Structures are given as structure tokens and as C-alpha cells.
A and B are shown apart, each in its own frame.
Chain A
Amino acid sequence: MPLHWLVLIVLALSAVGFFMGRGRALQTAGGDRRLLHSLPHYYGANVALSAMVPAFGVMLVWLLAQPLIVNTSIERMIPTEALPEGNTLSLVMSDVRRVAQGLDIAVERGVLSDAEVASLRADETDIRAMLGDVGVALGADVPGPVLEAAKNHRQQTARGAMIMSIAVLVLALIGFAYAFWRTNAQFRARNIVEAGVRALLIMAASLAVLTTLGIILSLIFNTIEFFRLHPAKDFFFGSVWAPSFGGGSELAVLPLLWGTLYISLIALIVAVPVGLFSAIYLSEYAGSKMRAYIKPLIEILAGIPTIVYGLFALLTVGPLLLGLFGSQGLGWMQAGTAVMTAGLVMGIMLIPFVSSLSDDIINAVPQSLRDGSYGLGATKSETIRQVVLPAALPGIVGAILLAASRAIGETMIVVMGAGAAARLSMNPFEAMTTVTAKIVSQLTGDADFASPEALVAFALGMTLFVITLCLNAFALYIVRKYREQYE
């Protein structure tokens, strides 16, 4: 049974359940709703939820678990000696899934019948040509074991789907019947429904934890897998980044980290003075009218997507810098993509982060401190420099750290503006690359996920995640600690 029909049937069942539950409650109360414990629609909702929630829950879990179980059981079927030279199990498995999918389509279009599929033999029919006809292109001819595995895969998937349909429908009916049977005038329907809704709310709230868990687990498992293939010592302490998909690549994080930090540093050198001074001017000097116009205008910079900044770096800033510092100018720069290009553009992006965070923090410094300073005869700028800024300093440091963590995690600007060469150099006009840019380049394309060259991206992601997490936690800690001081 197709999935959408199953969903529609369960939904229809619970809709019917709503009206039947409501009707039965009113009926047991003799039509007098004052005799009911809860409002009538709660009885209906109880039946509807009992029919729907467990059924959909089982369906969701089943849909997630079934491919895994089928895959493991098929993997066991494929003999290791059947693996072609240089192929890994995961590649063969993706072939198996593709053939199975092709067979499904062939049956659906009426090219083959189910009985014909069962009697297919790899050495008799040209499976590749046949599947090509129905629109599933295969890279190579299908060997016998793969075809057998695919047939088996198809069978198991179909059987699983059937059992799931039955289980879901039975569960929906049981839920329906149980809730309907319990419905009478004394039944505390509202309490039950509210407890159920509360459980749903809790599940929604824990999704955030699940996401974090998902991030951490997917990073950790793949990182461990990577370190099994590539020594951790080389990754952390080596100094050369030279991936080659033929094997024997040198994958060291150091040149990438250097590029990341160098670009972030230039970005902060641009963003911090501009952001900080505009925050100071807006909060201490500007009138309310100017503030009302200027602040949102500067914050537009934060709302512009990073792809726009990336394009700006690649097509405008890069050529501009090349004209100034390239072979026609000072001769320091070889190509438009360089640390300086990405750094400058990223700096522009970070201005509003620094300015609005610092603005909040400067505004939180109590007026009494300023009044005291004016009373002693200090000018406005002296007050700002010697009283307000020292008082706001921890918060400003926190803001800068948050901006730094943004810069380290930024992807599009460096992918488009910084170049692709990993090198340890001091020259800001040279192309360098970053952790994020290399995650993108190692994971895009049709790479095999089992190779160290692809898995290294997960180790890089782990590095990035840990660095930004530490920076954020530290920054938030400083900002919070400071805010409490004056409250």
C-alpha cells in the first residue's frame, strides 16, 4: 500500500473517531452536556489522538529502521569474494539498491511481472540494458550476486512495507476502539488529552537535544573512522595538506587552521574598529532620530545572505585588489582570490554583529557612572574612554569573540573569495584556504564516503564544531557575567 494512502486512511479514521467519540460522550450523558466531565470535543479529540499518535509513531520509527535492517541483512548475503577488485561493500550496496529500485520501476511500468523478476538470471538477460530502458542508468554490468541481493532487497522491502501497513492500521484501530470504549460521561477526557498534548510538547522541545546529539554522533563516528584510516598524529601535527584520491594523501589540519585564523583576523581588524566606533557614536552621541534611521541601515548588512558577500568578494573586491596590488600595481598579488579579499569582505559582514552587540552592552552601563565622570569635569570622550569603555570591556570582548566564531564558521565567502591552496604563509595577498572551504571541497562530488579523503571532512567539521562551541560558550559566559554586574 502506498504511503500516502496509509497516512490518509489513518487521518480519516481519526476524523471519524473525533465525531464518534463526541457523539458517544453526549449519548451516555443523555444529550445533556452539563453532565459530562469535560467539554464534548475533548472526548472526540481523545479518540482521534489515540487512533493517530501511536500509529504515526510506529510508522515513523519503522520507516527509519527498515532500510537499516534490510541493508544489514543483505550485506551479510554478499560474499566477500564476490566483491570486485577495488570496490568496497558500501559501493556494492549502493549498486544493489539501484538495481532493486530499477526492478521496482520495471514492474511498475509493466515491463516485467513479479514472477519474471524472480526468475531473472544475470547471465541470461542483459539487466543493464533493460534497466537503462526504464530510466535507471547503471555504471557497469550487473554481476550475479548483486542481482540476487537486489531481488532479495526488493522482496524484504516489499514484505516490510506490507507488515508496516498492517501494523499501523491495526494499531490505529486498537487505539480507536480502546478510546471509544472508555468514553462515557464520567471519563476524564480533558486530563488525558492535555497529558497527551503535553507529551507532544516535550517531544518537540527535546528535538533540539536530538539535533545536537545527531551532530555530535555523526561527527564522532565518521571522525573515528577517519582516524582508523589516517593517523591522528599526522592530522593534528602535520604541516602539509595534499589530498589525492589515489591514496597516500597528506591530510594535516594545521595549514587550514592557519588560513582560517588569518582570514578571521583580517576580518576582525576591519570589523572591530568600525563596529565599535559606530556603536559608541550611536549610543553616546547620536540623537534618537539618527539612531532610529542609522541602526537598521547598518543592520541590513547582517541580513544579506553570505552568498551575496561571496559573489562580491569573487567578482568585485578580488579584481579591485588585483588591480591595486597585482602585477599592474604593486606586484604582491597573483590572483583575485586571496586572504585579503575574503578577510575584507568578511569584515564588512561582521560590522553589524560587533556594532549591535556592543551597542547593547554600552547602553547597559548605568547612567550614574557617566554622571559621576561629568561631575568631575571630564569631557564626553574622556568619560567614554576612561569610564564607559572599561566598564563595558568584558561585554565587548564577548561580542568580539562571538564575531570571531562567526568568522571561523563562515563558508561561502571563503569558498568563493579565498582560493583553494592550503599553505602556511604570512603574505595576506596569497590564496589560502580554510577548514570550512575544505569541508565543502572534500564532500562535494561523487566521492566514496569510505575513503580518508572524504572522511577527513568530518574530522574538520569536528574541529570546527569544537572551536566555535568553546568560543561561544566562553563569550556567553563573559557577557552574562558582565550583565549581572549592574542589575
Chain B
Amino acid sequence: MSDATHTSLMAQSAHTRRRNQAEKRFRAYGLAAIALGLTFLVVLLSTIFYNGVGSFQQSFVNVPVYLDPAKLDKKGNRDIADIKKVSTFAYAPLVQKGLFALIEAHGIETELKKPKDMKKLLSASSTAQVRDYVISNPGQIGETVTFRLLASSRVDGYIKGRVKRADVARDKNINVAQLDLSDAFIKAGVISKEFNLGFITGADASESRPEQAGIGVSMLGSFFMMLVVLGLSLPIGVAASIYLEEFASKNRLTDVIEVNISNLAAVPSIVFGILGLAVFIQFMHLPQSAPLVGGLVLTLMTLPTIIISTRASLKAVPPSIRDAALGIGASKMQTVFHHVLPLAMPGILTGTIIGLAQALGETAPLLLIGMVGYIATNPPDGLASGFLDPNSAMPAQIYEWAKRADPAYYERAWGGIIILLVFLLTMNLIAILLRRRFERRW
């Protein structure tokens, strides 16, 4: 006590200094926490970008292939039925010869002498590509046509820096001589890295051909699922919110419904997957892996989100609007549908878009209704097939790729995430713009 009387107002006492230091420390903890949170965000996003951006480029080999009539059309009458009988095995030597011609033309020295050694440079899909071309253009048989063929995933990985020379020793799919040849081909401009449209529009491929896999078909699966979600959850959600907010009297039934909705919003998504499996697939025998079932499950999952945001925007419409409408003789229903609902619409749409974005990124329930593990190779033909035929969805496809053993698929998975995030970002931006543009302060 007596100490205090001797302290000067000009100089800080030890006690004050301690307190001020504690203050500074506390503030620094707060800043550090924010910095840590932002660092996580930056690390996460840059990891995604760094790992995934490669999948948007792919190495292609430009090979002139002599379409040998002796091999492709032995009878020489250009009969399409006979040409179709020639399998991809007959095409492989032609493509390999084309590569040898390139080696000679560019004067490249290589120890690879057998045509078979060329096989590992190209994707397994390349022969099928040539065959498809020949079947649709039988007149070209006998000509030399330059094809842009996919390089194999190892060559592609080597060019992108994923496959190192040091790792190749134990790799059955490529050897050092082939990498040397790839280097020479790159120098000669035969192999080039180009924009990979196939990744965005293409279908999933088998485990051994990562260079061919694309996310396009599962994007369509997601699209059809989102159609179901939008078509069901918007009307049902809006109807439910209108009833609860505008009509329901406070009684036990509405209490039960309200508690239910807030609880449903917090139920883990996997439980909705169990519900979908038990009710839609086991009980109703709807087709497994169908976007329709996925859409139904995601609808149930997003309904609480949409109901909660719709109720908030209905609540934000001031009572004076309702009073005025009622005052000039509108019925309660007319008041709601002619006046309150249009005013609340921007808020409702914002909430719906955010709910849709949530549903688009959700994976766990899709695991249970069989949308994972299905190789989505064929795009749906038509509306009914889009809803009912087995398909995958974007997040399910990414999960599927992440499970595969070949590291080339990891690049695809990260690339898929970039596409998924671009969609989510666009949806959220639209929601924000809607809110900015139409939001009214009363």
C-alpha cells in the first residue's frame, strides 16, 4: 500500500508494465490466431492449385500414321463391316511405325529398336482413337494422317515433373531410354503440352489410363442431381416456411415441426445417406447409383437450410406491408403470395443457392447409395437416362480418383477439386451479388 504513494505518474511502475505487457501478449495471441487461420486457408488453397493445375494440361504426341490398306482393309473393297472387324491390336504396329518414322526424320539416336518399345510412350487409348477415325473416314485408308494422340501417363508425368528419372528403375511402365526419347521428341516438337479439354468434358477411364480420365460425365451426374434438389427443395422449402412463418398458430404440432427442423439441420450427413439407402433403395427399390436417388437424399439434407433462410427473409418483410394489403381487402393468402413472397424472393434465392452449393460438395451420403465405385464412362443420352441411369457425381468422382493407386490420378483429383471449387465460388458469388443488388433495408 505504502509503495503506491511513492510511484511517479511520469514513470511506469513495475506492476503497470506487467499489466501492459500482458495486454500486448493477449492482443498478439489474437492476431496470431487469425494469422494461423488465414495461413491454413492460404496453404489449403495453394496446395489445391499447385497440385491440380497440371491436370488442365496434357502431353500429346503428333504422329503421322500410314493407314496401311494391307492391314486395315485386306479385301480392299472399303466395306465398313470388314473395317470394323479389325481390332485395335492391328492398329498398334501402324502407330508404332509412325513413331519410328519420326525418329528417323528428326535424326534421333535411341537404343530402342523394337516397335513394341514405342508402346509405353503412348496412351493405351491411342489405337482406339486411330481406329475410330478410320471407321468414320474409311476413305482415308492408304493415306498418311497426322494424329494428335495422348501420351502415356508416365511420359506426361515426366514432362510435368511428377515422374523422376531416379524413380524409373523399378517402374515396369517406362524406362530411361524411353524418357531420353521423350526428351528428344519434346525438343523436336513432336510431344507438346496442350490444354486438356478432355479432362473437363471427358468420361472416367479405367485404372490403368489416368491420362484419359475426365470429370465431364460426373459433372452431368451432379447437374441432374442439382436439378432434382432445386426442383424439390425450393417449392417444398418455400411452402413449409410460408406455413410456419405466416399461417401456423402456436400449438404443439408447429412446435414439434420447428424443433424437428432445427434438429435435422444438425444431423450428420451420413445419416441422410443411411436414410436414403433404407428408404429409397431397400424399401422403394429405386435404382442404385441413380442421380434421382442422390438428388432425393440431398433434397432432404438441404431442406432445413433452405427453410431456415427462407423464414429469415420472410421475417424481414415488415408487417406494415401485410397490414396494408389486408387493409385494402386482400385475403391472407393473397397478401402472402402477391406481396410478402415477391419482396422476400431475393433472400430466398440467396439461401437456396447457398443450400445448393452445400449439396453440390456433399460426398458422404452419396457413398452409401452407390454413387462411388461406379465408373462413369458413358454420358447419359436424354433426360430419363440422366436421372435414372447409374452415374457418379463430382465429389464422388474425386473420392474415387483419390482411392486409386496411380499417383497420376491424384493430380486428376486435385484438378477435379479446382473445378468443384470454381462451381461453388460462382454460386456463392451469384448469391452475394443477388443479395447486394436486391436487398432492401426497411
**A288 contacts B by Cβ under 8 Å:** no
User: Contact partner of A202 among B32, B40, B243, B274, CB < 8 A?
Assistant: B243
Segment 365-421 of B: residues with Cβ below 8 Å from A: 367-368, 370, 372-373, 395, 398-399, 402, 410, 413-414, 417, 420-421
**Nearest neighbor of A351 in chain B, beta-carbon distance:** B37
- Does B260 touch A at the CB level, under 8 Å? yes
> B30 near A277 (CB under 8 angstroms)?
yes
Which one of B26, B239, B367 has the greatest number of beta carbons of chain A within 10 Å?
B26
Q: Is A18 an interface position by the 8 A CB rule?
A: no
Is B19 within 8 A of A379, CB to CB?
A: yes
Q: Which residues of the partner chain B approach A285 to less than 8 Å between Cβ atoms?
A: 27, 30
Whether B274 contacts A306 by the Cβ 8 Å rule is: no
| Chain B residue at smallest Cβ distance from A200 | B239
Report which residue of A276, A314, A458, A461 has the largest number of chain B beta carbons within 10 angstroms of its beta carbon. Answer: A461
Residues of B within 8 A of A68 (CB): 283
B-contact 0/1 string along A167-210, CB 8 Å cutoff: 00000000000000000000000100010011011101111110
In the complex, A274 has a CB within 8 A of chain B: yes
For the complex, give the distance between the alpha carbons of A303 and B360 in Å: 11
Contacts of B44 in A (CB 8 A): 301, 304, 308, 312, 348
Do A468 and B268 have beta carbons less than 8 Å apart? yes
Measured between alpha carbons, how far is A341 from B244 in the docked complex, in Å?
43
Q: Which of B240, B263, B363, B424 contacts A204 (CB 8 A)?
A: B240
B304 at the interface (CB under 8 A from A): yes
Residues of B within 8 A of A (CB-CB), count: 86
Q: How far is the CB of A377 from chain B (nearest CB, A)?
A: 10
CB neighbours (8 Å) of A444 from chain B are 367-368, 370, 372-373
Is the C-beta of A269 less than 8 angstroms from some C-beta in chain B?
A: no
B266 pairs with A405, CB closer than 8 A: yes
Within 8 A of A (CB), among B154-183: none
Please choose the segment from A6-14, A124-132, A292-300, A322-330 that sits at the chain B interface, where 4 or more of its residues have CB less than 8 A away: A292-300
Given A212-B263, A311-B414, A379-B22, the answer on whether A306 and B364 have CB atoms closer than 8 Å is yes
Complex CA gap A212/B272 in Å reads 10
- For residue B312, give the distance in angstroms from its CB to the closest CB of chain A: 14
Q: A64-B284, A311-B414 are in contact. Are A277 and B32 (CB under 8 A)?
A: yes
A381 to B421 alpha-carbon distance, docked (Å): 39
Partner among B20, B30, B268, B417 whose Cβ is within 8 Å of the Cβ of A409: B268
Decide: A476 near B267, CB < 8 A? Known: A194-B333, A277-B29: no
Chain A residue at minimum C-beta to C-beta distance from B26: A381
Residues on B with C-beta less than 8 A from A62 are: none
B48 contacts A by Cβ under 8 Å: yes
Instruction: List residues of chain A with CB within 8 A of the CB of B103.
Output: none
Q: Is the CB of B417 within 8 A of A440?
A: no
A457 and B247 contacting across the interface, CB-CB below 8 Å: no
Q: In this assembly, does B325 line the interface, its C-beta being within 8 Å of a C-beta of chain A? A: no
Kindly supply a per-residue 1/0 record for chain A positions 402-420, scoring 1 wherever the CB is within 8 Å of any chain B CB and 0 otherwise.
1001001111100110000
Task: Please tell me which stretch of A74-82, A215-223, A234-242 contacts chain B, meaning at least 4 of its Cβ atoms lie within 8 angstroms of it.
Answer: A215-223
Give the residue name and chain of the A residue nearest to B367 (CB): A440
Which of B222-247 touch A at CB < 8 Å? Answer: 235-237, 239-240, 242-244, 247
Question: Which residues on A sit within 8 Å (CB–CB) of B424?
Answer: 303-305
Would A348 and B40 be within 8 Å (CB), given that A201-B239, A214-B279, A281-B27 are in contact? yes
How far does the alpha carbon of A303 sit from the alpha carbon of B431 in the complex, in Å?
13
Asked whether A162 is an interface residue with its Cβ less than 8 Å from the other chain, the reply is no
B266 to A307, Cβ gap below 8 A?
A: no
Given A410-B268, A439-B270, are A304 and B364 also a contact pair (CB < 8 Å)?
no
A197 contact from B262, B333, B367, Cβ within 8 A: B333
CA distance A146 to B331 in the complex (A): 60
For the complex, is B68 an interface residue (Cβ under 8 Å from A)? no
CA distance A473 to B395 in the complex (A): 31
Q: What are 15 residue pairs bridging A and B, where the CB atoms are less than 8 Å apart in the complex? A: A194-B332, A205-B248, A206-B257, A209-B256, A212-B260, A218-B278, A281-B33, A284-B30, A285-B27, A297-B38, A298-B41, A312-B44, A348-B44, A379-B22, A416-B399
Q: Enumerate chain A interface residues (CB-CB to B < 8 A).
A: 64, 67-68, 97, 190, 194, 197-198, 200-202, 204-209, 211-212, 214-215, 218-219, 221-222, 273-278, 280-282, 284-285, 294, 297-298, 300-301, 303-308, 310-312, 314-316, 348, 351-352, 355, 379-382, 384-385, 402, 405, 408-412, 415-416, 436, 439-440, 443-445, 449, 457-458, 461, 464-465, 468-469, 472-473, 476
Interchain residue pairs A-B with the least CB separation, the first 4:
A409-B268, A305-B361, A281-B30, A218-B278
